[in-house]
């Protein structure tokens, strides 16, 4: 982050400044080796230590037990939309919960591999809500149930860890992983592209319960089979060495800050500030999500016209507030306030919003 800019982009997104500074310091000669981490063999002992530290960093940040394993893959969260059914469907059917644009994509992809039941969708009401756990009826014979814990485009978030009463739970947590403690023991598989709270783009983190690895069908393409990563320290081929290195640094930073528990406190405070500004604007700003579904990571709102929204984004950009334009598919404004966004950034945005509204 350069000094005068606050980056509200949805992802790739803001990274903690101390992480970038450390990476800069080590860029040309990694810890006295005389070469950059980017130039180093992924099979070298120096690199093995980096990979181990990133894996352990996530293990500890997520509070994992030995039942789960952390894997590093490529192909983004989007590739998980295919890998999850390829590895876990086993000729059965799966339940899908659709609360936004990403869940819809995950469902469409899974349907290419077998039978899927959409047991909940808020599409008809514009992806503004999140179902209560006891509203959901899971299929007893489902191979798994898939949901998206935070919908990055729509700005709706599950305020609880889903309990599917014995059906294995698979979760796309791309945009809220590490933002608060998750009860990972409740999940069969959690995945996320790194480029929001975990690190840079180009790495996907998969946390898988180890027993699932035992029933994966044979014959999958090597790089689309979770076992290839589990059996080879996440290196069935050359990994994204640079990305994994940065993930290790982000985990160190997170631990120094007090971990996900401290993040939950800070993130709730930042989101409250922003939602209060929206709610006290006499309708000048209108939040997209229902109150109980509001995301603490991606705050989506509208102004009274698209022209006004355009002016808002342009003026904000000039004031050093970057990346506020909503996703191209829905428009509006979206402020992404991930772990690395300081409170000061949100205070500056709220100040800008008040000034923008008062001038009109």
Ligand X SMILES: Cc1ncc(COP(=O)(O)O)c(C=O)c1O
Catalytic residues: 102, 172, 196
Residue nearest ligand X, CB atom distance: 76
Tokens at residue 219, please? 């014959």
Minimum CB distance to ligand X smaller for 64 or for 73: 73
Residue 144 CB, shortest distance to ligand X, in Å, is 17
Count of CA atoms in the C-beta half-sphere (13 A) of 281:
27
> Taking phi first (over 0 means left), then psi (-120 to 50 degrees means alpha), and beta for anything else, what does residue 328 get?
alpha
Q: Give the SS3 label for residue 160.
A: coil
Instruction: Identify which range of 18-26, 45-53, 72-80, 310-318 contacts ligand X by CB under 6 A.
Output: 72-80
CA-based torsion, 257, 259, 262, 266: positive or negative: positive
Instruction: Identify which range of 139-147, 168-176, 257-265, 310-318 contacts ligand X by CB under 6 A.
Output: 168-176
76 makes contact with ligand X (CB under 6 A): yes
Minimum CB distance to ligand X smaller for 294 or for 303: 294
Task: Tell me the number of residues near ligand X by CB under 6 A.
Answer: 11
DSSP string, 10-49: SSS----HHHHHHHHHHSSSGGGSSS-GGGS-TTSHHHHH
243 makes contact with ligand X (CB under 6 A): no
Q: Give the SS3 label for residue 211.
A: helix
Instruction: Identify which range of 13-21, 75-83, 130-138, 177-185 contacts ligand X by CB under 6 A.
Output: 75-83
Residue 158 CB, shortest distance to ligand X, in Å, is 12
Minimum CB distance to ligand X smaller for 45 or for 329: 329
152 makes contact with ligand X (CB under 6 A): yes
User: Contacts with ligand X in 172-211 (CB under 6 A)?
Assistant: 172, 174-175, 193
Instruction: Identify which range of 71-79, 119-127, 212-220, 252-260 contacts ligand X by CB under 6 A.
Output: 71-79
Residue 141 CB, shortest distance to ligand X, in Å, is 27
Distance from C-alpha of 201 to C-alpha of 193, rounded to nearest angstrom: 7
Minimum CB distance to ligand X smaller for 172 or for 309: 172
Are 212 and 90 a contacting pair, CB within 8 Å? no
Instruction: Identify which range of 135-143, 169-177, 229-237, 249-257 contacts ligand X by CB under 6 A.
Output: 169-177
Single out the residue of 99, 148, 336, 339 in contact with ligand X (rule: CB under 6 A): 148
Instruction: Report how far apart, in Å, the C-alpha atoms of 174 and of each of 51, 77, 89, 264 are.
Output: 20, 7, 21, 16
Distance from C-alpha of 107 to C-alpha of 95, rounded to nearest angstrom: 9
User: Contacts with ligand X in 93-132 (CB under 6 A)?
Assistant: 102
Minimum CB distance to ligand X smaller for 83 or for 208: 83
Distance from C-alpha of 207 to C-alpha of 170, rounded to nearest angstrom: 10
Residue 101 CB, shortest distance to ligand X, in Å, is 8
Single out the residue of 6, 11, 155, 199 in contact with ligand X (rule: CB under 6 A): 11
Residue 131 CB, shortest distance to ligand X, in Å, is 17
DSSP string, 229-263: HHTTTT-SS---HHHHHHHHHHHHHHHHHTHHHHH
Residue 356 CB, shortest distance to ligand X, in Å, is 27
Residue 344 CB, shortest distance to ligand X, in Å, is 25
Where would I find the H helices in the chain? 17-26, 45-61, 76-88, 101-110, 226-230, 241-257, 259-279, 306-318, 343-358
Q: Which residues are CB-contacts of 235 (< 8 A; sequence separation ≥ 6)?
A: 42, 43, 51, 229
For the chain, counts of helices (H) and of strands (E):
9, 14
Minimum CB distance to ligand X smaller for 95 or for 172: 172
Binding site for ligand X (CB under 6 A): 11, 76-78, 102, 148, 152, 172, 174-175, 193
């Amino acid at each position: 982050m350069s000094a005068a800019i606050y980056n509200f982009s949805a992802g790739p997104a803001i990274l903690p400044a101390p992480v970038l500074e450390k990476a800069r310091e080590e860029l040309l000669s990694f810890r006295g080796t005389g070469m950059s981490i980017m130039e180093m063999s992924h099979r070298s002992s120096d690199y093995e230590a980096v990979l181990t530290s990133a894996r352990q960093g996530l293990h500890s940040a997520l509070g994992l037990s030995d039942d789960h394993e952390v894997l590093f893959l490529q192909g983004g969260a989007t590739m998980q939309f295919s890998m999850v059914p390829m590895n876990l469907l086993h000729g059965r059917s799966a339940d899908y919960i659709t609360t936004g644009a990403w869940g819809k994509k995950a469902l469409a992809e899974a349907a290419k591999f077998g039978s899927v039941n959409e047991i909940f969708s808020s599409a008809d009401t514009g992806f503004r809500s999140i179902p209560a756990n006891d509203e959901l009826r899971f299929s007893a014979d489902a191979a798994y149930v898939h949901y998206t814990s935070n919908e990055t485009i729509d700005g709706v978030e599950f305020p609880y860890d889903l309990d599917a009463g014995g059906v294995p739970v698979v979760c796309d947590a791309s945009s809220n992983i590490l933002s608060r403690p998750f009860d990972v023991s409740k999940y069969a598989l959690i995945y996320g592209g790194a480029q929001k709270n975990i690190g840079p783009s180009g790495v996907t983190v998969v946390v898988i319960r180890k027993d699932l690895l035992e029933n994966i069908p044979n014959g999958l393409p090597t790089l689309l089979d979770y076992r290839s990563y589990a059996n080879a320290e996440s290196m069935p081929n050359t990994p994204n060495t640079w990305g994994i290195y940065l993930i290790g640094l982000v985990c160190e930073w997170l631990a120094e800050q007090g971990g996900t528990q401290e993040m939950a406190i800070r993130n709730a405070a930042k989101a409250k500030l922003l939602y209060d500004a929206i709610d006290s604007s006499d309708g000048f700003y209108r939040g997209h999500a229902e109150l109980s579904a509001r995301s603490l990571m991606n705050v989506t709102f509208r102004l009274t016209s698209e022209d006004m929204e355009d002016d808002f984004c342009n003026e904000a950009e000039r004031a050093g507030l970057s990346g506020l334009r909503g996703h191209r598919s829905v428009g509006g404004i979206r402020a992404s306030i991930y772990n690395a966004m300081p409170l000061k950034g949100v205070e500056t945005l709220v100040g800008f919003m008040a000034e923008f509204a008062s001038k009109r």
